Structure 1
Amino acid sequence: MKKAGMFLCLSLSLLPVAASADGPAVIVESVALQPVEYSPSMLGRVVAARRADVMPRVSGMLEDGLHCEGAMVEKGDLLFRLDPEPFQIQVASAEAGLMNARAVLKQAEAELQRVQTLRRSSAASQSDLDSAEANRDVAKSQVAAAQAQLKEARLNLSYSEVRSPLAGRVGKAEVTEGNLVTANSTLLTSVVQTHPVYVELAVSSGDILKRQRASGLPSAEEVYAELTLSTGETFSEKGRFNYMSPEVNQQTDTLLVRAEFANDNNQLIPGEFVRVRAGQVQPEQVLMVPQKAVQRDKDGYFVLVVSDDNIVSQRRVELGSKHNSLWAVASGLAAGERIISEGLQKVRVGDTVSVREE
């Protein structure tokens, strides 16, 4: 009887030890790659792909003003006309100057031929021949100068007609008929290209950095841009990202990103605000962890990892973007590792735990 009592006491004394060997019960999840579509939504502004301020290239009196304010124009369409008479006079004068220069050249060539004939018979000196050749060369240069003056005069005459430098929508007239305008100074109107158009948005440099560390920035071919208009409608055409600023704006800590959109129906108006969503052609495979498994202290984010021997250790992680209840992991974990998602309050680093997979 005494031996039986001793055996019972020994058995009872071992119960707590067996329980502690199992350790606290926790639920773990295996870190795995999951398909994730990176699709942030940001506010952007529509801007014209090209814009030109229309100014006269010659000075003069504005004879005919703009008759198509706000209309669509093609490159080369007539917008304004200056009084052409002063330029026509310059052309006529230059033509007369060219005729005179040619006549002088003809005379100089005839004189050279005469002196050459006399020189062969020693009736003219070498000095006479040299002078005749020089006069001929001077006359040639005068013809070339007269031709250049005529070309310039004709060019200025063509500039009396102010034409659109690009296809797009023309603005309002800044000057009306009867006013004197100055070359390369007086603003007549402006023309903005409306097809295609750009949408510019300022993206936080921190978001770009997180994205780059998480899975790298996708190429332009891997992403597309989608617009939501101020009316709530989705724009019918998808755009493509074609530019990202190489420098961070130090005042706003943002990077300028630009997308290009076709705008055949002129539905997008430069200056308006739109909402831009970046979508991916193919979802990426990214390491994901549940939000409830992530903890934070003064040094940053960390998770509790359970080894093959069920021993708990702390692991610092760098997080990327958040997707519903999951975090993308930029660094610190590998696929297949087990992390504690429930029961965090029960354990400490170094504990041996009883594991249940979720």
Structure 2
Amino acid sequence: LLFFSSRKKDDEVELRLPVVRVENPSRGTIQSSVTLSGHVEAKSMIPVVPLVSGTVLDFPVQVGQSVKEGDVVARLDSEPFDQQVMQAKASYLAYENAFKRVERLYKGGNATEQNYDQSKAARDAAKAQYDLALLQQGYATVRSKSSGTVITVMSAKGSTAAQGQPVAVVADLSALVVNLKVPEKYYTLIAQNKDSLSISVIHPDSGESFSAEPGPIDPYVSPQTKTFNVECRLSGNVSLLRPGMFVKTKIVYKTFSNVPVLNQSIRKTDGSVYVLKDGKAEHLEIIPLAEDEINFAVDESYADFQFIVDGQNSVFDGQEVKIQS
């Protein structure tokens, strides 16, 4: 009778033990990465800037149009500059004729060296004014300084173009970049692994991934924002991406292959885990080698541990547990 009573109590105790499921880490590959948001930009965006002011008589380009270096973007009213050229030319020819007379007299000994130098200086000054007038006349035709696509226009036929103010912007849409503001805690990890970085840019609508190469990394961290800039240069066919698009960019800065891997779901809210040791649950604080949204990798020293993967939220450190069969 005592034997059966003791056996019954043992069975009751075993029934009250929390039931857990355990697993050993599996082997896998995991990447350390950071995902940030940014905007697509054209690496080369060149404003078309008139060097003189004037009324726009012709504006033969529009947004989306391809242009080559030297193509006409706008024609300004050249009449004021035409008048300047005629005046400057007349003045120059007059001074040139006067200089030639003084030069003949000087060579014949009938004019002083001072007369000669003064006449020559006046002729040279008039020639400089004439050259400047010709240059300004040429500036009335505003040309693109680069080849690319017109992405912005700030003027139109009949408007007034101001000296130094852009009338259009030309961008090279075959060379796109994403400039990321990366938190300072990643500086060493990214800077030291620049040559092995793997970068992918995600299209905002289709979710398609585009490869990118690392460009310049800022050699400093902004004290105001606590970030540094990383330029990501898109490669391959980027025809689906356009400047201004809001994209997510993933930078993989380290890859761990054939390492012990576990699912993130086994971790408690504080990141700790439970393992099975001598029939009891043991609480461990583990710093992952690397982690992503789904898995995390642990050191080789944990490769043979039995991790509690189910029931870990109902046990405490040192508690006996029952293994789910």
TM-score, normalized by length of structure 2?
A: 0.68
Residue segments in structure 1 that go unaligned for 5+ positions in a row = 1-26, 119-130, 305-314, 330-334, 348-358
2:197 is equivalent to residue 223 of structure 1 = yes
Q: What does residue 39 of structure 2 align with?
A: 45
Contact 2:199/2:252, CA 8 A, preserved across alignment: yes
Contact 2:41/2:176, CA 8 A, preserved across alignment: yes
2:240 is equivalent to residue 270 of structure 1 = no
Residue segments in structure 2 that go unaligned for 5+ positions in a row = 1-21, 276-283, 309-315, 320-325
Q: What does residue 98 of structure 1 align with?
A: 92
The alpha carbon displacement at 1:262 in A equals 4.1
* Structure 2 CA distance for partners of 1:255 and 1:303, relative to 1, 3 Å: farther
* Aligned counterparts of 1:263 and 1:76: Cα–Cα separation in 2: 28
Q: What does residue range 106-125 of structure 1 map to in structure 2 within 5 Å?
A: 106-115=100-109
Q: What does residue 128 of structure 1 align with?
A: none
* Aligned counterparts of 1:73 and 1:292: Cα–Cα separation in 2: 55
Contact 1:225/1:238, CA 8 A, preserved across alignment: yes
Q: What does residue 326 of structure 1 align with?
A: 296
Partner of residue 164 from structure 1, selected from 118, 121, 144 = 144
The alpha carbon displacement at 1:72 in A equals 2.0
* Structure 2 CA distance for partners of 1:133 and 1:287, relative to 1, 3 Å: farther
Q: What does residue 58 of structure 1 align with?
A: 52
2:156 is equivalent to residue 176 of structure 1 = yes
* Structure 2 CA distance for partners of 1:287 and 1:232, relative to 1, 3 Å: same
Contact 1:101/1:139, CA 8 A, preserved across alignment: yes
Contact 1:296/1:302, CA 8 A, preserved across alignment: no
Q: What does residue range 223-262 of structure 1 map to in structure 2 within 5 Å?
A: 223-235=197-209, 238-250=211-223, 252-262=225-235
* Aligned counterparts of 1:224 and 1:173: Cα–Cα separation in 2: 36
Q: Structure 2 counterpart of 1:63, which letter?
A: L
> What is the Cα-based RMSD across aligned positions, in Å?
4.2
Q: What does residue range 274-285 of structure 1 map to in structure 2 within 5 Å?
A: 274-279=247-252, 283=255
The alpha carbon displacement at 1:285 in A equals 6.7
Q: Structure 2 counterpart of 1:238, which letter?
A: S
Q: What does residue 83 of structure 2 align with?
A: 89
The alpha carbon displacement at 1:249 in A equals 4.4
Contact 2:31/2:291, CA 8 A, preserved across alignment: no
Contact 1:57/1:183, CA 8 A, preserved across alignment: yes
Q: What does residue 198 of structure 1 align with?
A: 177
Query: Number of residues paired by the alignment?
Result: 282
Instruction: Give CA deviations for 1:134-157 in whole Å, capped at 9, x if unaligned.
Output: 221222222322222222111111
Instruction: Give CA deviations for 1:2-21 in whole Å, capped at 9, x if unaligned.
Output: xxxxxxxxxxxxxxxxxxxx
Instruction: Give CA deviations for 1:262-308 in whole Å, capped at 9, x if unaligned.
Output: 4766421111112323357x9457987868999999xx99999xxxx
The alpha carbon displacement at 1:36 in A equals 4.6
Q: Structure 1 counterpart of 2:175, which letter?
A: P
* Structure 2 CA distance for partners of 1:230 and 1:108, relative to 1, 3 Å: same
* Structure 2 CA distance for partners of 1:64 and 1:96, relative to 1, 3 Å: same
* Aligned counterparts of 2:205 and 2:261: Cα–Cα separation in 1: 37
Larger radius of gyration: 1
Helix, strand or coil at the partner of 2:242: coil
2:113 is equivalent to residue 133 of structure 1 = yes
TM-score, normalized by length of structure 1?
A: 0.62
The alpha carbon displacement at 1:102 in A equals 2.1
* Aligned counterparts of 2:99 and 2:170: Cα–Cα separation in 1: 48
* Aligned counterparts of 2:29 and 2:144: Cα–Cα separation in 1: 50
Q: Structure 1 counterpart of 2:146, which letter?
A: L
* Aligned counterparts of 1:51 and 1:103: Cα–Cα separation in 2: 49
* Aligned counterparts of 2:298 and 2:131: Cα–Cα separation in 1: 68
Identity %: 22
* Structure 2 CA distance for partners of 1:289 and 1:261, relative to 1, 3 Å: closer
Instruction: Give CA deviations for 1:125-178 in whole Å, capped at 9, x if unaligned.
Output: xxxxxx711221222222322222222111111110111232232245433333
* Aligned counterparts of 1:256 and 1:80: Cα–Cα separation in 2: 36
Contact 2:30/2:297, CA 8 A, preserved across alignment: no
* Aligned counterparts of 1:140 and 1:286: Cα–Cα separation in 2: 85
